[in-house]
Amino acid sequence: MTAASVQPTVTVRKPKSGLLRHVLVRLATAVGVLFAAATLAFLLVRLSGDPVKQLLPPDATAAQEATLRSQLGLDQPLIAQYGDFLWGLLRFDLGDSLVYHEPVSQVIADRVPATLELAAGALVLSLVIAIPAGIYAATRRGRAGDTGVMTAVLLGQSTPPFWVGILLVLLFSVRLKVLPASGYGTFAHLVLPAVTLSVYSIAVIARLLRSSLIDVLGSDHIRTAKAKGLGPAKVVLAHGLRNASLPTVTVIGLEFGGLLGGAILTEQVFSWPGIGRLTVEAISHRDFPLVQAAVLFFAAAFVIVNLLVDLSYSLLDPRVRAQS
């Protein structure tokens, strides 16, 4: 065999499309969930009653009711109303509010900043308290510190948030007079609602982080890191915390969506002008275009947060990246 007869082997690497396919599948799933949420919102608000009775005075005539029903498109068959609703949704036209007499998208947009501010403040407070508490409890498993943290976690998960809010108002607003009981606009107004909304999330995140970190600290690579002479703090923070972060990131994402949904009660207690309070008002006034838009907002928030959490797995865990 001569040297000329030996042909070099050239390996052509095909681009990996697994991650792109993973993203596309998740996007398609998100669109399907939003479509199902929109359909459910459309059906439920129409099963809740006739908004015409709520909008007109009690002495309104049948002709007035028929005229208003025709103006709102409620005299059409349900399938025709559903088709108009989907067509408007594709054009980002959610209709006009029956109470505010403005485009629903504008009414929602005016309230979104307040809800996002409240949810973000509660999430930051949750992380600031829950992560150190979870690490502290995991590194002192079975000791007094661990018992104290887990007792506080159990109380946090068992206490209704609205009851916490009422107690905080009685203590800091009525008795001590150091924080406002309601309102919006300053950092002082944010404190009590954010604390109220974060209590349950602190308990959930701390408990899950403790459990995940305990499992990781008992693994082989942690023992290897200790055998190499690494300090306890570096072992926990550099090697243990990152490996325990995957389930924790999942629950943080879910909790952020839960904070947006849980803001409904908190906003009512503290008169916070957000989407939650707007939803309650829309339901009480049978403002069905506004109710539909609020439901879609909360559904979209959950879907987007879950999608971002799902996509972040490939950055946090190389095994997920390899599988994709």
In the block, residue with structure tokens 């023992």:
223
Label residue 54 exposed, middle or buried (CB < 10 Å: 0-12, 13-18, 19+): middle
In the block, residue with structure tokens 């509010």:
97
pLDDT confidence tier of residue 312, bands split at 50, 70 and 90: confident
| pTM score over 0.85 | no
CA distance 183 to 231: 48
CA distance 24 to 122: 32
More confident residue, 194 or 13: 194
Q: What is the pLDDT of residue 180?
A: 92
> What number is the average pLDDT over the span 288-313?
83
Q: What is the pLDDT of residue 16?
A: 52
Q: What is the pLDDT of residue 122?
A: 92
Each residue's pLDDT tens digit, 246-281: 777 778 877 887 787 777 888 888 989 989 889 888
pLDDT confidence tier of residue 212, bands split at 50, 70 and 90: confident
CA distance 32 to 55: 34
Q: What is the pLDDT of residue 6?
A: 47
Residue 96 DSSP SS3: strand
Per-state percent for the chain, helix, strand, coil, to nearest 5:
75, 0, 20
Instruction: Please give the sequence-ordered ranges of beta strands (E in DSSP) within 4-153, or none if there are none.
Output: none
Is the pLDDT at 32 greater than 60? The verdict is yes
CA distance 192 to 208: 25
Contact assessment for residue 309 and residue 249, using Cβ atoms and an 8 Å cutoff: yes
Of how many residues is the chain composed? Answer: 324
- What does residue 103 show for φ and ψ, rounded to 5 degrees? -55, 135
> What number is the average pLDDT over the span 64-74?
79
For the chain, domains (ranges, CATH) are: 22-93 (no CATH), 114-285 (1.10.3720.10)
Q: What is the pLDDT of residue 3?
A: 47
More confident residue, 45 or 105: 105
Nearest alpha carbon to residue 306 among 257, 271, 267: 257
pLDDT confidence tier of residue 14, bands split at 50, 70 and 90: very low
Mean pLDDT of the chain: 81
CA distances from 314 to 111, 211, 265, 318 (A): 34, 22, 35, 6
Structure tokens at 285: 């006034």
CA distances from 102 to 52, 175, 193, 293 (A): 18, 41, 28, 13
Q: How far is CA 147 from the centre of its chain?
A: 30
- Please count the CA atoms within 13 angstroms of the CA of 35 that sit on its side-chain side: 10
Q: What is the pLDDT of residue 247?
A: 76
Q: What is the pLDDT of residue 313?
A: 67
CA angle 210, 212, 218 (to 5 degrees): 100
Is the pLDDT at 149 greater than 80? The verdict is yes
Report percent pLDDT > 70 for the chain. 83
More confident residue, 306 or 55: 306
In the block, residue with structure tokens 């399907």:
32
Is the pLDDT at 315 greater than 70? The verdict is no
Is the pLDDT at 237 greater than 70? The verdict is no
Q: What is the pLDDT of residue 125?
A: 93
Q: What is the pLDDT of residue 233?
A: 67
Structure tokens at 136: 């502290």
Q: What is the pLDDT of residue 126?
A: 92
pLDDT confidence tier of residue 229, bands split at 50, 70 and 90: low
CA distance 249 to 107: 32
Is the pLDDT at 12 greater than 90? The verdict is no
